[in-house]
Structure 1
Amino acid sequence: MRRLAFFAVALITFSCGTTNSEKSASSNVLEDISFTIDTVMVDPGEELINLASGLRLSDLSPDKRTLYLLDDKDKSVSVVDLEELKLLRKLPFEKEGPNGIGQYLSNIQLLPNERFLFAGFQNTGIYSFQGEKVEDIKVSGADVEGMNASDENSIWNGIRISGDEKFLFSLPGNFFEGTRDLVVVDFASKKGKVIDIPAMDITSEFRIVLRSDETINVYTEEISLQELNGKLIIQTTAGSDAYLYDYTADSLRLLTFDHKLVLKKKEGTVRNEVTSQKEFEDEMGKLSSQISFEKFIWDDGSKRYFRFAKIFYPKVDDKTPRKADVFLFAYDQDFKLIGETQLKELTSVPAYPFFKNGKLWSYVNVEDELGFAVIDFKF
C-alpha cells in the first residue's frame, strides 16, 4: 500500500522593514525571505530502507528524479523514485569475491549507462547495476607527479570521476595532520599530478588528536570535493574560501567572499594533542561554537548557488540534539556573493540538501523511515 504523508507545514517570513525603493537598491537577494516546509515520506513497500548512515552513501540522478542509497550492511542499493515517492527496487552487490565492492566504503557515485563508482581504501571500482565489476581502479603514487610516498595509501580519499569520465580526482594527505592535496589523474592512462591547494591548509590548524592508553581518536575539519556544472569545487568546513577547478582548461581559481553576517573562517587555537576524552571534547567545543560552512548547492531554476553555515550552541547533554544558528548564503553563476541571512526559525542545517523543481529537499528520518523536508523559498 502506497503512503504519502505531508505534515509540519510552516510559513516563515523574515522582513527587514525596507521600503520598495530601499529594497530595489539592496544587493542582498535574501533580505526578505519566506518559505514553507512540507515533509514527504517514501513508501518502502515490503522492503526496509536502512537509514543507519543517513544518506552518506548515496547519489542522485542528474534530473533529481531518482535516489540511489547504498546499504552498508548488506551491500544492496535502494533505488527510490522521488517523483512517486516509493522504493522501486533493490540492486544487490557482493561484499567479497571478484565482484566484491569491499567492506568499508567512503562514497558512491552514479555514472551513465547504469553504473556506479564504489570507492574505499580496500577497493575502488566501477560496477554495473547487475552487480558485475566493470573496471578495477588502481592508481599508483609512482604515476602521480609530485606525490609523497606517505600519501599513496590515502589516494582513494574523496575519489570521484569527472562528468565526462576523462579524469579521476582525489584528496590524499595525512589524516593525522589534517593536510590535503588535489590529485588529478587522466582516467585512461592513470597518470596524474598533484595540485597544491594552500587555502585548505587551515584544516591542519584545527586538528585534534586524542592519544591515550585506551584509544586514538582524531578530529579534523572536513575538506570535500564536488562537481557542479562541469567544474570541481574544493572546500572546507573551517572557512568560506573555496577552489574552483576547471578540469577541461586545467585552471584553478580561488573563490573568496566578503561575508557580513559571519566570520570568514574559524579563529583562535586548539590543542592539537590531548590525552583524555574530556580534553578532546573541550577542544572540539571550541570549534563547533564557531562558524562551519556546508557544501554548495546549485538551483537550476534560479541559476544560483546556495550554501548553508552553522554555529552550534553549547552542548546540553549526550541525549539532547544540539541546536545551532543557521545561515543561508546565495551566489550568482560566477560565485559572486549576492545574499546572506540568518534563518532564525531553523535550529539545524538541512541534511544532504538538493534542489528539485525549484524546491530544496533535505533528508529526514521519521521513526526509521525515509522522508524529506521540502522547503519552498520565496525571495
Structure 2
Amino acid sequence: MNTLSVLLICCSMLFSCSPGTGNEKTYYSDFEVEIDTILVDSEDEILMAGSDIYTSGVTIDNKKLYSLDQKNFALEIIDTENYRLENKVYFKKEGPESLGTDYFYDLFPLPNERFGFTFYETYRIHDLKGNLIKEVKLDENWINGNLEGTERIELSSVDVHGNVLAGMHFDFDSFKPIMFLLDSEKEKVESIELPEFDKIKRYKITLRRNGGYLTHADPNVFIKFQEDSILISNSAFNDIYIYKWVTKELKHMTYNHQLVPSGKQKTYQNDSESEEEIIQIIYDISEEVDFTEFFRDELNDKYYRFAHEANYLEDKENPTYKVFMMVYDKKLKLIGEKELMTFESEVTPLFVKDGKVHFHLNMEDELGFIRIGLKN
C-alpha cells in the first residue's frame, strides 16, 4: 500500500466555549489535533472515487466505503481498515439485473451486502448481483396523500436496515420545516415539525423563467439515524434537533461559538430571472459560514462538526476555505472549537474511524483521505 503519513499540522489552543443549551457555566478545553493523509491502494483499478465521491456512503461499522461510478455502472467498495479497493462490482445497464437508472442521488450501504439509493421519485434496494430487493415510489398515495400541488418529500437518509426513510418537505416555491419518516414495511408516515428551522427559507434561492420555476439552491438539511435517536441539523445554522423516535421526544439545541457565527446573517434576494444575478447571490452566501453534519466518534465518545468560510478572488475562481473544527461530548454539548487551516479546495468529511475524521482527498485523481483526530 502507498501511504503518505505527512503530518500537516499539530497544534493546540486554549479557548472558551459554551455548552449547547447556553445555560450552563462557560468552561475551557485544551486539545491538540493531528492531521495526516493516506492514499488508498487501487489494486491497479481506476477508482472514480478519487475525483468523484458525491454518491457514496459508509457501512454502519465504518469499515467499508461504497462509491458509485455512475459513468461505468459500477460500485466501488473500499476497505477502510486496510485502505485498499476490496471490490469493484459492475452492473448491467439494462434488464432485470440492472439498477434501473443511470442517474443517482444518494447511496446507503446496508447489511448483507445490499445497498439502497434514490433517483427521481424512487428509492430502491439492490444486492451486489444487481437483484432488486425493494422499491418504494414516493408518489404512492400512502406517502403523498396529504401533500398538495407540487409538494413532495425529498429523501436524505434511511435507518440501518433501509426500511425507514427520512426526508424533508420540498416545494418549488416554499419551504416548510417538516421532517417525514416513512416506514416502508408498515406503509405509515410520521411528520415532525421543526419550527426553529423555518429560518432556512431565507437562503432558498430560485432561478425563474417567465415567472415560473427553473431551478434552485438552498441549504442542506442533514438527517442521521443514531441508535434510538435521529439527529437533524443544517448547513446554514449551528442548531440541531434530536428526535427520540421511540418516545417521540423532540429536543432543540443551539450553540454559542467563539470562533464562528451561529449561522448565516445577511439578507439576500430570494429569486431572479437573471442567471448571473443568481450565481452572484450563491457566491455571496457561500462566503458566510457553512456547517457540516455531526459525526460520532465512538472510540473517544465524542461528536465532531466542521464549518468553513469560502474566500473568492475577483474572478470567482479557485476559492480558498478557512476550516474550523468543533468538538462535542456524548450529549452533544459543545466542549471545544478551533481554527484548523485554510484549504485550497472544499474538503468533504465522510466518516470517523479509529478516532479520526476522514475527509475525501483527490490525490492526482487517486483516492486518498485527510485524517483529522484528537491528539492523546
TM-score by length of 2: 0.87
Residue aligning to 2:134? 135
Deviation at 1:178, TM superposition (A): 4.2
Correspondences of 1:173-212 after superposition (within 5 Å): 173-212=170-209
Where 1:158 maps in the other structure, the secondary structure is strand
| CA distance in 2: counterparts of 1:302 and 1:199, whole angstroms | 30
Matched pairs, number: 365
Residue aligning to 2:348? 351
Deviation at 1:287, TM superposition (A): 1.4
Distance 1:224 1:94, change over 3 A: farther
Deviation at 1:164, TM superposition (A): 5.3
Residue aligning to 2:369? 372
Deviations 1:131-179 (A, max 9, x none): 1001112345632488313356x33x22433225552222231144344
Deviation at 1:296, TM superposition (A): 0.4
| CA distance in 1: counterparts of 2:97 and 2:324, whole angstroms | 44
Deviation at 1:99, TM superposition (A): 4.1
Residue aligning to 2:117? 118
| CA distance in 2: counterparts of 1:151 and 1:123, whole angstroms | 16
Correspondences of 1:292-307 after superposition (within 5 Å): 292-307=290-305
| CA distance in 1: counterparts of 2:176 and 2:15, whole angstroms | 46
CA RMSD across the alignment:
2.7
| CA distance in 1: counterparts of 2:264 and 2:156, whole angstroms | 26
Structure possessing the higher relative contact order (Cα contacts under 8 Å, 6 or more residues apart): 2
Partner amino acid for 1:138? K
Deviation at 1:198, TM superposition (A): 2.1
Deviation at 1:117, TM superposition (A): 0.8
Where 2:155 maps in the other structure, the secondary structure is coil
- One of 216, 239, 244 as aligned partner of 1:241: 239
Partner amino acid for 1:37? I
Deviation at 1:45, TM superposition (A): 2.1
Identify which range, 221-230 or 159-168, moves more after superposition. 159-168
| CA distance in 2: counterparts of 1:147 and 1:95, whole angstroms | 36
Deviation at 1:306, TM superposition (A): 0.9
Where 2:45 maps in the other structure, the secondary structure is coil
Residue aligning to 1:88? 86
| CA distance in 2: counterparts of 1:286 and 1:345, whole angstroms | 18
Deviations 1:166-212 (A, max 9, x none): 52222231144344521112231212132222222222111222235
Correspondences of 1:1-379 after superposition (within 5 Å): 3-16=1-14, 27-29=27-29, 32-51=30-49, 54-101=52-99, 102-140=101-139, 142-144=141-143, 147-150=146-149, 154-155=152-153, 157-163=154-160, 167-212=164-209, 216-320=214-318, 322-344=319-341, 350-378=347-375
- Tell whether the 8 Å contact from 1:147 to 1:194 is kept in structure 2 after alignment: no
| CA distance in 2: counterparts of 1:268 and 1:358, whole angstroms | 36
Deviation at 1:340, TM superposition (A): 1.7
- Tell whether the 8 Å contact from 2:136 to 2:184 is kept in structure 1 after alignment: no
Give the unaligned 5+ runs of structure 2. Answer: 17-24
Partner amino acid for 1:218? H
| CA distance in 1: counterparts of 2:124 and 2:360, whole angstroms | 27
- Tell whether the 8 Å contact from 1:12 to 1:345 is kept in structure 2 after alignment: no
| CA distance in 1: counterparts of 2:183 and 2:208, whole angstroms | 39
Deviation at 1:350, TM superposition (A): 4.0
Deviation at 1:36, TM superposition (A): 2.9
Identify which range, 282-291 or 328-337, moves more after superposition. 282-291
Higher fraction of strand: 2
- Tell whether the 8 Å contact from 1:145 to 1:193 is kept in structure 2 after alignment: no
Where 2:8 maps in the other structure, the secondary structure is strand
Partner amino acid for 1:272? N
Deviation at 1:347, TM superposition (A): 6.1
- Tell whether the 8 Å contact from 1:13 to 1:35 is kept in structure 2 after alignment: yes
- Tell whether the 8 Å contact from 1:173 to 1:180 is kept in structure 2 after alignment: no
| CA distance in 1: counterparts of 2:55 and 2:301, whole angstroms | 27
- Tell whether the 8 Å contact from 1:326 to 1:344 is kept in structure 2 after alignment: yes
- Tell whether the 8 Å contact from 2:49 to 2:67 is kept in structure 1 after alignment: no
| CA distance in 2: counterparts of 1:167 and 1:62, whole angstroms | 15
Deviation at 1:332, TM superposition (A): 1.3
Identify which range, 96-105 or 360-369, moves more after superposition. 96-105
Distance 1:139 1:277, change over 3 A: closer
Where 1:285 maps in the other structure, the secondary structure is helix
Where 2:262 maps in the other structure, the secondary structure is coil
- Tell whether the 8 Å contact from 1:91 to 1:129 is kept in structure 2 after alignment: yes
Where 2:306 maps in the other structure, the secondary structure is strand
Give the unaligned 5+ runs of structure 1. Answer: 19-24
Partner amino acid for 1:360? V
Distance 1:28 1:73, change over 3 A: farther
